Structure 1
Amino acid sequence: MQKIVPHLWFDKEAAEAAEFYASVFPESRVTSITRMEGTPSGDADMVIFELWNQKFMAVSAGPLFKPNPSISFMVNFDPLFFNGSQESAREKIDEVWSKLSQGGNALMPIDEYPFSKRYGWIQDKYGISWQLILTNPDGEPRPPIITSLLFVGDQCGRAEEAINFYCSVFTNSRLGSLHRYPEGGPGPDKPGTVMFADFKLEDSWFTAMDSAHAHKFGFNEGISIVVNCEDQQELDYFFPKLSAVPEAEQCGWLKDKFGVSWQVTPIVLEELMVKGTQEEVNRITQALLPMKRLEIAPLVSAFEGK
């Protein structure tokens, strides 16, 4: 089980977007689509899919939230993933860039930069942002896709604090690299703040950066992070540890003190939703809608019609 899963919010395009991404990235597939009827947004599709063997989730739940580049996905094109071939990795990064660029918007054009011989940042036609990078195979290996947090606006300067906080919440965690903005550097970034860092929570790597540049976006529910819990004890641990905005607590969703949205959910809920009949799924949906922190026993009872 993948403990931590990125979750994407779409208006109506979750299934379409998942199929598109599965056609873009290697070793990818859509694994399930579940219709949730009678939600506040109407009928909503819950989609589970894998990109380069990493699990993702998505929902079509209306236009309330839109993804933005405050959370993006860094895609490592490590030659080690291509039998050590730098040429094959470079060909693949250009192929993926071309596909994601169709109807998209280049935030940083694909080119050579001081930190990589091939890098580009693209916001695709569905609003999801991807950082494609030709990785140096000499470094410590990282997975192909990594969730990347960009701390901007009021949250700028808090990336290191957030990293340490998340690593304190998840006991199975560790720090990776940390690079700070230097004294006398160009641009508005404050020396000593995080230029780039990565860290691992459970089985998932993350990156984090501060950016003092003017950005017209910030963390929101458009991209959230799902924590899959084995039992009620885990739910009761993670939910209060992460939640910092009581009014944002709904249906297992919460917002932390940095504005990042999380979903703390029992893995059994996903299992029941995927295997259930439409009637069983509808009963679970109606049972979870009034909840803030999810309770496993009532959800299972609803599935069973009790």
Structure 2
Amino acid sequence: MQRIQTITPCLWFDHQAEQAVRFYIQTFGGSSRILSTRYYSDVGTEIHGRPAGSVMAISFELDGQQFSALNGGPHFKFTEAISLQVNCQSQAEIDHYWNTLGEEGDPQAQVCGWLKDRYGLSWQVVPVRLFEMIEDQDADKAGRVMAAMLQMKKMDLAALEHAYEGD
């Protein structure tokens, strides 16, 4: 029997859960997959207002992390108050996730490694190395990296490394 994840983020969409899940699975690839799909029935139509047989919720995994996507209607929208952080090992990974997730997203929401995708969900696309640099005991090094990062939209790992080294 599969262990149930203790905490599963639920992403509320108006009606685009299926398209969003397919987009995220394609973006992250690897072990990403749909686990199950549930459909609305006639029960509760007066409350949910969704047609019977339409997708209600999808359970899915992105790189081993479970999520749920709900077609809940237009009542709630994503805000920057929550974001999903993508920890990257290389500039190639940063470029892939930044370019793919940001495609058709909100260009005004791009700052310091944050972006908003076409569905309104905020993402942080950051190099793991950034955390090591800004947590350095040398306050000058950490400060230079922070100053450089604050000038960026998409993270530039080489520029961060140069700032760290004082180049």
Please say whether Structure 1 and Structure 2 have the same fold, judged by a TM-score greater than 0.5.
Answer: yes
Aligned residues: 162
In structure 1, what is the equivalent of residue 161 of structure 2?
300
Deviating beyond 3 angstroms after TM superposition, the runs of 4 or more aligned structure 1 residues are none
RMSD: 1.7
Compute the TM-score of the two structures, normalised by the length of structure 1.
0.50
Aligned partners of 1:180 and 1:193 also within 8 Å: yes
Query: Could you report, residue by residue, the CA deviation over 1:83-141 in whole angstroms, capped at 9, with x for unpaired residues?
Result: xxxxxxxxxxxxxxxxxxxxxxxxxxxxxxxxxxxxxxxxxxxxxxxxxxxxxxx6x32
Choose which of 17, 23, 35 in structure 2 pairs with 1:165. Answer: 23
Q: CA deviation at 1:258?
A: 0.3
Q: CA deviation at 1:191?
A: 2.7
1:220 aligns with 2:79: yes
SS of residue paired to 2:111: coil
Query: Could you report, residue by residue, the CA deviation over 1:162-186 in whole angstroms, capped at 9, with x for unpaired residues?
Result: 1111001011211101101114643
Which structure shows the bigger proportion of residues in helix conformation? 2
- C-alpha distance in 1, partners of 2:6/2:125? 25
Q: Write the letter of the residue equivalent to 2:143.
A: N
Q: Write the letter of the residue equivalent to 2:94.
A: L
Q: Write the letter of the residue equivalent to 2:85.
A: V
Unaligned runs of 5+ residues in structure 2 are none
Which structure shows the bigger proportion of residues in strand conformation? 1
1:206 aligns with 2:64: no
Aligned partners of 1:142 and 1:205 also within 8 Å: no
In structure 1, what is the equivalent of residue 55 of structure 2?
194
In structure 1, what is the equivalent of residue 4 of structure 2?
142
- C-alpha distance in 2, partners of 1:191/1:241? 33
- C-alpha distance in 2, partners of 1:253/1:192? 36
1:277 aligns with 2:135: no
Unaligned runs of 5+ residues in structure 1 are 1-137
